[in-house]
Amino acid sequence: MIRRNSIAALFAACALAMLAAPGLRAQDSKGTDVSKVVRLNRAPVNKEVLHVQLPRPAVEKLPNGMTLVLLEDHKLPTVAFTMMIRPGQLADPDDLPGLASFTAGMLREGTTTRTSAQIATEIDSLGASLNANAGFGAGYLSVNASGLAPDAEKILNLMSDIVLHPTFPDGELAQYKQREQSALEQRLSNPGFLANRALRRALYIEPPLSVNSPTKDSIAKVTSADLKKFHDQHFTPGNTIFGVTGDFKTADMRALVERAFGAWSGAAEKPIALPESRVSEPSKIILVDRPASVQTYILAGVRTIRRTDPDYYSLVVMNDVLGGGPQARLFLDLREEHSYTYGAYSGVNTNIYPGDWSGYAAVRTPVTDGSMTQFVYEYKKIASETVPTSELDDVQRSIIASFALSLEQPSQVLGSWMTVQYYGLPVDYWDKYPDRISGIDAAAVQAAAKKYVDLAHMQWVAVGDRKQIEPVLKKYGPVTVVDANGNPEP
């Protein structure tokens, strides 16, 4: 295990480095020569310290088919519960996008024995938390609860009640739909949301993977009967991974969970058939017209791999070199050298199906052309040039140090083990993770860039003022213009 004094030293050293960093000072309008920026992301620890072994949970399949993951942690008198219930949003009907999200959002709004107000009052009286959500693109719906360890049984009883016996009252649903309509209106004014919606449609083509939000119609038409049907079909112990971490004895917690959920029944569903990663379409640009916008939100992505693919490690390292944070190339180029934006980043999204990789930045409208040029330049560079050893070493140290720091949070450690169960990863996956990351060489990074930073098939989205940016974007490829609702514009 990592020693606490090592973690404390790491935090202290990082804090001092940040205070001293010239590259982290407020920027003036002239920008900064990227060659003069000092890279400070090297973790000031010995690599040997980071060869860690996560505390192992007790994992078993209960008689009703639910997978139970119990991880004792006695640092604090608290306990945290989390449920992953497959298949989540992937089971949304095409005509009701958001149904999994609606179902999760309504779980707390009434059961056969408690009203919404009673549930809220009980949670508050315990000083506990209890929530549920279903993210778009995720293959599970999650239910989470936490509180003091002495209240574990009461929290579990509340949790099991909303999971097993929700009633989805019509009155509460009407209020929920009003809140969702307001939230959707706010999202539709957000350029980042508009860009991500357009990109998912371009990359995934068909629902459910192409969807990242409910629609006005789906919110308006969903009924309590729809929620109940979704719940009855998918909420089964065979579909569920149940994790607990905190101040408890494993045998005692197992008994509590069995009392709360032991009578629950239902086998696991067959995995939902999802489209395989298809041959990408030729590169194109989608312009989401946002009249009078003072910024252009640029987002570009490609389909990549599943979480279990052997290329995952090289893709993660390559991404961190290119756009993983303020030390990465996109940030240093578009912000530090050119002052086009407050930040430019990239990210990897993998799942049980082939996911995607994307890079993005919100830039001032007049520098849309220059920003596109620099994105293309950095994408070509990482695929054509070998990453210098010092830069690669910095990135690897940063990734491993972040992983090491996550071990200080029991909930994150539990999350790591839930990931193992969800994806069916080897039991020693996290023991080997630092070595796998540090074993990625410059050739593997370049190979990942050539394979996945694919300019020939990259799908670009630009959200901004059409009148100002359409002529610029046409220099980089064919442009299709849509409005904020995704409808084609002439």
* 311-361 tens-digit pLDDT: 999 999 999 999 999 999 999 999 999 999 999 999 999 999 999 999 999
Nearest partner of 399 among 41, 11, 5, judged by Cα:
41
DSSP string covering 49-79, please? GG---PPPPEEEE-TTS-EEEEEE--SSSEE
pLDDT given at position 187: 95
What lies within 8 Å, CB to CB, of 67 at 6+ separation is 59, 60, 61, 240, 241, 242, 421
**Cα distance from N-terminal residue to C-terminal residue, the chain:** 61
C-beta separation of 72 from 250 below 8 A: yes
The H or E element containing residue 480 is strand 479-482
C-beta separation of 50 from 2 below 8 A: yes
Residues above pLDDT 90, as percent of the chain: 84
Q: Which of 17-21, 30-34, 408-412, 447-451 has the highest mean pLDDT?
A: 447-451
Residue type, 125: S
C-beta separation of 158 from 145 below 8 A: yes
Q: How many CB atoms lie within 10 A of CB 65?
A: 16
B/e letters for 242-252, b = 16+ CB within 10 Å, e = fewer, are: bbbbbbbeeee
Six-digit token string for 417: 């083990």
pLDDT given at position 48: 52
The H or E element containing residue 81 is strand 78-85
The H or E element containing residue 481 is strand 479-482
Q: Does the pLDDT value for residue 256 go beyond 70?
A: yes
Bridge pairing between strands 459-464 and 284-289: parallel
pLDDT tens-digit readout, 159-190: 999 999 999 999 999 999 999 999 999 999 99
Is residue 275 very low, low, confident or very high in pLDDT (cuts 50, 70, 90)? confident
Q: Residue 482 and residue 490: Cα distance in Å, rounded?
A: 9
Q: How many CB atoms lie within 10 A of CB 344?
A: 29
Residue type, 236: T
C-beta separation of 192 from 297 below 8 A: yes
Nearest partner of 171 among 259, 249, 109, judged by Cα:
109
pLDDT given at position 50: 59
Residues above pLDDT 70, as percent of the chain: 89
C-beta separation of 196 from 302 below 8 A: no
Q: Residue 473 and residue 476: Cα distance in Å, rounded?
A: 6
C-beta separation of 304 from 357 below 8 A: yes
What lies within 8 Å, CB to CB, of 207 at 6+ separation is 92, 94, 97
Burial of 29 (0-12, 13-18, 19+ CB in 10 A): exposed
pLDDT tens-digit readout, 349-400: 999 999 999 999 999 999 999 999 999 999 999 999 999 999 999 999 999 9
Are 58-261 and 284-482 the same fold in CATH? yes
What lies within 8 Å, CB to CB, of 154 at 6+ separation is 122, 126
Every domain of the chain and the residues it spans: 58-261, 284-482
Q: Three-state SS for 292?
A: coil
Q: Does the pLDDT value for residue 13 go beyond 60?
A: no
Q: Residue 157 and residue 123: Cα distance in Å, rounded?
A: 11
Residue type, 446: Q
Q: Phi, psi at residue 268, to the nearest 5°? A: -70, 145
What is the reported pTM?
0.88
Burial of 122 (0-12, 13-18, 19+ CB in 10 A): middle
pLDDT given at position 408: 87
> Which of the following CATH numbers is that of domain 58-261: 3.90.1150.10, 3.40.640.10, 3.30.830.10, 3.40.50.720?
3.30.830.10
Q: Residue 17 and residue 86: Cα distance in Å, rounded?
A: 43
Residue range 85-92: mean pLDDT, rounded = 97
Quick one: fold of 284-482? Cytochrome Bc1 Complex; Chain A, domain 1 (3.30.830)
Residue range 276-287: mean pLDDT, rounded = 84
C-beta separation of 346 from 319 below 8 A: yes
